[in-house]
Structure 1
């Protein structure tokens, strides 16, 4: 295959960003079609990204028709999470490789069915968009911890702050749509499953809607006895900030302390803070999509699998229960060996 013909389902903020990335930054791929429930939005994007006969992007009204189209080799799913299960099963039915933005699905039960359906097919088609694994800082941290130079990793401290989110962003979405990144990062850095989660809810910011618990503080317990914590604050007001510190037997390592020029002048010191995730993780997204395209051409995936998406969904499901009850909740995770043989 000389060129991967890509269709993008869902062209909101993330999907439009990916569509633009395929057109302008990704080698070996061509954007063929887009689909979105908001037809005018899809048409506007297709028009903007079409540049003559060599780059003509069409709009497909029904996402399932896009997935089934003969001139689509692979799909990027950036649709709302509630639509993912049906669309993922369609990708499996049609044998279409797919890069699926998180969440894999909205609950652990349907996510496990996706894993089982892919496994029954006999080849991996699904890669989940946990892009932090592709961020150069996170990748360097993973390499350092895996080298054993600092001894065993014992603790992980995480900070995840957004400047603001829409008023419709509810407390459980902080777990499922924001904290889920730290769930995946903890599993990836430790190489272990999370077995228990406790979500604490300190006094909420006065700037959020009544009933929304923001910030949240979660504690993960892993199968090997290690622990991780994360503060998620999605109405931080200042900017987008993600930090991670790993504490090991012979030292610690921290990423996310800021990039660009760091100044000291006029009795003050500091640097710039990005406005949102697309700025902070632009390079990670670029690397993720390019590696997905390259791996797809080889008939492989090169990143988080459907199992990783399922495991994250199971942890978040337990996290939402802990958010509601205020108690630690064990993660109900299927036996991987039995599911995947």
Structure 2
């Protein structure tokens, strides 16, 4: 493909607007051909200053807009299934932000629909796979230099949660990143989950049971624990330590700017995921554009999106029951045995 890849961006909120900017200014080989959002004023604002872009209230209208050859879905999760099926019907390659589909039943319908096509069209936006530190850890674990992985210790902290955030979202929105990262790093499925809760932080809104400790078991006997704390009050922190038979490796220790003044020395702490993972998002979208222009689909698959939703659902049941909940996955279609990780 010699011309620029024309991309329709569905959703012009915080994430969607950032992807519009990224495609227009940071990623070569692509252009924003259309933007869709029910709030057309927001869509117009995201598309402002971009030549040749059309703005739509309906997602299907954006998919049918002139010059659209691929679609980036950044709308709210409940809208993803319909948008994905519409893209499949048009044969359009898709980069879909997580969750692919929040409910595992809907996510499985996407897997089955894509399997019927006989080819992959979907890459799911688990951007940690494109973070330089995570990629180094993955390479180290794959090399076997530290022996068999025994445990992953993960930390995921946010400054504060938005007003609509629920206790279930600690797992199915925030910890979903660790779910995919653990599956990818270990190349194992997560088979059971237990959720433990301390007394809620006084910083948490009324009714939000924050923080929590989520414990996953894997198909090959490893353990993964995740501290999720979405109202830490001080910064956005993501860390992961792999403990193996012959050593350990940790990523996520901040190496940021240190400001020194008369008040002393202060190390900056990222306040937002778009800051901490800005380079990972750039790498992710760049890889998707490059592969799409070559007629390929790589990266996290629809199966990965389904598995993450199924594990997250089990995690929410564990939150509610206070007990250990097993994860049940449907049979994996042959199409996804050929996934390029």
Which structure 2 residues correspond to residues 287-302 of structure 1 after superposition, within 5 A?
A: 287-302=283-298
Which structure 2 residues correspond to residues 183-222 of structure 1 after superposition, within 5 A?
A: 183-222=179-218
The verdict on how the C-alpha distance between 1:267 and 1:151 changes in structure 2, with shifts beyond 3 A counting, is: farther
Structure 2 length as normaliser, TM-score? 0.95
Query: Per-residue displacement from partner, 1:169-206 (whole Å, max 9, x unpaired)?
Result: 00011111100000001100110100001111211111
User: After TM superposition, where is structure 1 displaced by more than 3 Å over at least 4 residues in a row?
Assistant: 261-270, 337-341
When the two structures are aligned, how many residues end up with a matched partner?
336
Q: For the aligned residues, what is the CA RMSD?
A: 1.8
In structure 1, the residue matched to 2:32 is 31
Of 281, 286, 290 in structure 2, the residue corresponding to residue 285 of structure 1 is 281
Quick check: 2:151–2:222 contact (8 Å CA) kept in 1?
A: yes
Of 45, 49, 58 in structure 1, the residue corresponding to residue 54 of structure 2 is 58
In structure 2, the residue matched to 1:314 is 310
Structure 1 length as normaliser, TM-score? 0.95
In 1, the alpha carbon distance for the partners of 2:80 and 2:272 equals: 24
Of 315, 328, 331 in structure 2, the residue corresponding to residue 332 of structure 1 is 328
In structure 1, the residue matched to 2:127 is 131
Offset of residue 339 of structure 1: 7.9
Offset of residue 270 of structure 1: 5.7
Extract unaligned runs of 5+ from structure 2: none
Query: Per-residue displacement from partner, 1:132-151 (whole Å, max 9, x unpaired)?
Result: 00000000000011111111
Q: Secondary structure at the match of 1:75?
A: strand
2:223 is the alignment partner of 1:227 = yes
In structure 2, the residue matched to 1:42 is 43
Query: Per-residue displacement from partner, 1:202-236 (whole Å, max 9, x unpaired)?
Result: 11111222221111110010000001000010111
Quick check: 1:116–1:340 contact (8 Å CA) kept in 2?
A: no
In structure 2, the residue matched to 1:161 is 157
In 2, the alpha carbon distance for the partners of 1:222 and 1:262 equals: 39
In structure 2, the residue matched to 1:19 is 20
In structure 1, the residue matched to 2:75 is 79
In structure 2, the residue matched to 1:151 is 147
Of 162, 167, 171 in structure 1, the residue corresponding to residue 167 of structure 2 is 171
Q: Secondary structure at the match of 1:237?
A: coil
Quick check: 1:116–1:339 contact (8 Å CA) kept in 2?
A: no
2:210 is the alignment partner of 1:182 = no
In structure 2, the residue matched to 1:276 is 272
Extract unaligned runs of 5+ from structure 1: none
Q: Secondary structure at the match of 2:31?
A: strand
Query: Per-residue displacement from partner, 1:37-65 (whole Å, max 9, x unpaired)?
Result: 11111112222x32xxxx23220121111
Of 234, 238, 257 in structure 2, the residue corresponding to residue 242 of structure 1 is 238
